[in-house]
Every structure is written in structure tokens, then in C-alpha cells.
Amino acid sequence: MLRVAVIGGGPSGSCTAETLAKSGIKTWLFERKLDNAKPCGGAIPLCMVSEFDLPESIIDRKVRNMRMISPSNREVDISLDNVYGKSDNEYIGMCRREVMDAFMRNRAADLGATLINGLVTNIDTGNDHQGPYTLTYSDFSEENNKVEIKKLTVDLLVGADGANSRVAKAMDAGDYNVAVAFQERIKLPKEEMSYYENLAEMYVGKDVSPDFYGWVFPKYDHVAVGTGTMQKNQSLIKSLQEGVRNRAQKRLANGEVIKVEAHPIPEHPRPRRVVGRMALVGDAAGYVTKSSGEGIYFAAKSGRMCAEEIVEASNNGQTIPSEKDLKNYLKKWDKKYGTTYKVLEILQNIFYRNDSAREAFVEMCDDMDVQRLTFDSYLYKKVVAMKPLQQLKITFLTLGSILRGKALAPLKYKPVKSAVREEEEVDKMLKNFSIKGGIKVKNSKV
Ligand SMILES: Cc1cc2nc3c(=O)[nH]c(=O)nc-3n(C[C@H](O)[C@H](O)[C@H](O)COP(=O)(O)OP(=O)(O)OC[C@H]3O[C@@H](n4cnc5c(N)ncnc54)[C@H](O)[C@@H]3O)c2cc1C
């Protein structure tokens, strides 16, 4: 009988383990920290809720309005009301990862996977990486906080252990470039929080990121405020976070930082994602999209697709799949999502290049065809075919916006206006303090 170990209990690992366990394959799921709060904006597309059968209870907020804010503070709403009409059917789900991950992990365990609260510290990959694979791990599940070192031997290994993947190292998967993301969770006064009830914000500008965007995403009782940038600009990350804070200061007035977090985000897939009988999924493989930085859905989906291939090739666990069998999962993955990754990379290269292009990007988001295209492809993960006239219109719109963007790009960045208070009142509030706690950066230069 086939034995599989899945290392990492985030969305990719849990979905791998769930599919394997459902088919009766002997599955171990390792997670080093059962209350892990993965640093993350926690935004998920609507299709993930039904496709992965997620209960409403794991969704903190249903966002129906994504407010884009340009370098000159032009605000454009990409609104679900505009695109699909007023209803509660469509939304972007905002989740706390500690809640979502625990739910998915426990479900995999309920379906038959053996969940081990342990840190995998070493992987012996056998001759030529072909297995069997012997894992050494620190078992944290013992009573009285005793840690026991244990070993487990399996026939197949799935690396779902995120951007710093140990499995990737053990199988010699090769490196990828990573972006770095920084986030502060901020508790806001009731009035400020009410503005973010079902609305999220995306800020673009060189002040918040030279190659990505800054965000304010609502969670259960606070907002997640963050930014990201490519590895080469890593040293700027705190000053970029200060850029987001400065621009949003009037909307975050009297906020209090309750958590500061940072984490790498892969920028592209690893050179090798399957070696021997070891496969990588999720961030370990490098499946985060450019432009949007979306990785949760792709993590879950890659875990499921990898596991489905294992189930099929092993005839429900009766034989051990070969390297070639596992590589079928990669073929299917690349065929299904290759274009999505490419298109989002091109968009990032065009629109996050400089402030003129960023102004153009926000202006374009005001167009209904662009809004529908954005939501259809994000919420439903459908490749949306454009009608020729639509295509022509969007091409002209892009060119026009890029030309106009030059004139609009500001020399200096200013805070956006408060959405819930008079200017005078906010200015008074800001005299005491803007945001309590969190990062401290002086003389930041971008
Ligand atoms: C600041 C930030 C904001 C983001 N915002 C969004 C967003 O809004 N929407 C979105 O879709 N994506 C977002 N992403 C990307 C998203 O977080 C990832 O793509 C997603 O978490 C990948 O899931 P995963 O299961 O592959 O890996 P992870 O979520 O990283 O899970 C890996 C798990 O493996 C465990 N682990 C690691 N090593 C070991 C070991 N040796 N032994 C045992 N356990 C181990 C870890 O504890 C962890 O639980 C964001 C990322 C960052 C950094």
C-alpha cells in the first residue's frame, strides 16, 4: 500500500492530504505549528468557496468594492454592484489564515489523513532521490511540552512547505527569486472600521512599491495593511510600508498595530518541481501570480491536482507512481494556468513600471469592460475571451491612459482624505498620533 507524506499544513498541503485520504491512501500531514497565522492578506476568489467547499464561518468579510488609488490619489471603484448588479451572491472573501488553514487541515484529518504536529528537520531521499524517503521530525504532540525526535519512512513525498521549502532543498529543485511582503494588522476606531465593512483598498505609486501595490484589506475586527516588492528592493520594504501608512493615514487615524509580519513570496516556479517521487505544490513550487500576488487558490488547486494524479497513477494507492506519472500533474498545471501567469506578468511589467503607467492603470479600471474582465477572471478563474470590438476599445483605452498618465503623475504624494470624518477633526486626531505601534522608520527614501 502506497505511503505518502505531505510536509506543510497550509492550503496546498491540506488539499493534497484531503484528496489522498479520501481515496484511502495512507497519508501523513506534517504541520510544525497548528495555530500558524501565515502572513497573508487573506483575499480569496469566490470560486474557491464552492470548489473547496469552504463554510461561511471562515470568511470574515465579503468585499464587494475594490478601491484603486493612483499615485495622485485618484480613486476608482471596481465594484461588484456595477458589474453584476446589487446582490450578495458575488464577493471577494477576506479570511484570517489561522482560521482558514486550521479548518482545511482538520478536515483532511477528519477524512483520514494522520495529522502530525511536527517540524520536519531532515529528509533522506534514498538512492538518486528515488526513495523510499526517511523523514526526521520533532514531534510536538507529546504531553508536558516534551519534544520527541522521530522518524518516518514513506514511498512518496509532497512538499507543501511554503517559500522556504525544505523539501525543495532536499530534492535539489533549484532556487527561485522571491519578493518580500510586509504587513501590519491594525485595529481601528469603530467609525474608521465601518468604512472598510465591505471595501478593500489598493494603493499604487513609487512611494508604496516600485513594482507591486500596497493594500488595506479588512479582516474580522481589524485591517491588514501591507506592501510587497521584489528581492532587489528588499532593503526598502519598511520605508515602503511607511509609504502606505502615510497615504492612508487619515483612514487609519488612531489605529493600533496588533501584529507585524513579513514573509517571502515566490516570483516564479522553481526549475524542477518533480524529482523522483517528490513533488512540490503551492508556494514551495512557486505558484503565486504576478500583478495580484494571489497564491491561496493556486496553492489549494495545485495540491488537489497533484494528489489527483497520485490517486490515478497509483490506482488508489495500490502501486507506487513513477517520476513520469508525477510529471503529468505539471503538464496539466502548466496547460491550465500557464497563460494566466504570463498575462499577469505582462500586466505587472506594463502597469507597475512608473507613476505615469500606474495613473493609467487606475484610470483604465474605471471602464466597465475592464471591470467585468477583471472580476470574471479573478472571481471565477475563467480565461475570458474578449470580443474583437472590446479588445480594440481596451487597446485604445490603454494607449490613451498611458499618454494621459504622464501629465497626472504627481511630484509628491499626499494622504488621501478621510472617508468618515471632517478634515479638521482628522487633523486634530493626527496631532496626537497617527498609528500606535508597529514599524519605526526615519528619513525613509524611496
Ligand atoms: C504578506 C502576504 C500577503 C499575501 N496576501 C495574499 C492574498 O491576499 N491572497 C492570496 O491569494 N495570496 C496572498 N499571499 C500569498 C499566499 O499567502 C501564499 O501563496 C499561500 O499561503 C501559499 O500556501 P501554501 O500552502 O503553499 O504555503 P504556506 O501557506 O506558506 O504553508 C506552508 C505551511 O508549511 C508549514 N511548514 C513549513 N516548513 C515545515 C516543516 N519543515 N515541517 C512542518 N511544517 C512546515 C508552515 O508552518 C506552513 O503552515 C500573500 C503572501 C504574503 C507573504
Mutate to test the pocket of ligand 1, among 7, 40, 99 (most ligand atoms within 8 A of CB): 40
Locate the domains of the chain by residue range: 3-43+97-176+270-341
From the CA of 377, how far away is ligand 1's center (Å)? 22
Sequence-ordered strand ranges (E) for 176-298:
178-187, 199-203, 214-218, 223-230, 255-266, 274-275, 278-280
Does residue 393 surpass a pLDDT of 80?
no
Overall average pLDDT of the 360-379 stretch: 86
Cα three-residue angle 423-424-429, rounded to 5 degrees: 95
Nearest Cα to 226, choosing from 295, 293, 297?
293
Does the structural domain 3-43+97-176+270-341 have CATH classification 3.10.560.10? no
Nearest Cα to 221, choosing from 256, 193, 252?
193
Ligand 1 neighbours by CB, cut-off 6 Å: 7-13, 30-33, 36, 38-43, 119-120, 160-162, 166, 181, 183, 226, 263, 265, 282-284, 288, 293-297, 299
Q: Whose CA is nearest to atom 38 of ligand 1?
A: 161
Number of the ligand 1 atom closest to the C-alpha atom of 266? 19
Number of the ligand 1 atom closest to the C-alpha atom of 283? 26
Overall average pLDDT of the 149-172 stretch: 98
Does residue 416 surpass a pLDDT of 90?
yes
Q: From residue 51, how far is each of 25, 131, 373, 410 by CA, in Å?
A: 22, 33, 21, 43
Q: How far is CA 106 from the centre of its chain?
A: 21
From the CA of 105, how far away is ligand 1's center (Å)? 13
Q: From residue 78, how far is each of 75, 92, 242 by CA, in Å?
A: 10, 12, 25
Does residue 446 surpass a pLDDT of 80?
no
Cβ atoms of 435 and 256 within 8 Å: the answer is: yes
d(Cα 218, Cα 260) in Å, to the nearest integer? Answer: 16
Average pLDDT of the chain is 92
Does residue 444 surpass a pLDDT of 50?
no
From the CA of 77, how far away is ligand 1's center (Å)? 29
At residue 145, the pLDDT reads: 81
Cβ atoms of 54 and 99 within 8 Å: the answer is: no
Does residue 131 surpass a pLDDT of 70?
yes
Number of the ligand 1 atom closest to the C-alpha atom of 300? 25
Q: Whose CA is nearest to atom 15 of ligand 1?
A: 295
Secondary structure letter of residue 105 according to DSSP: H
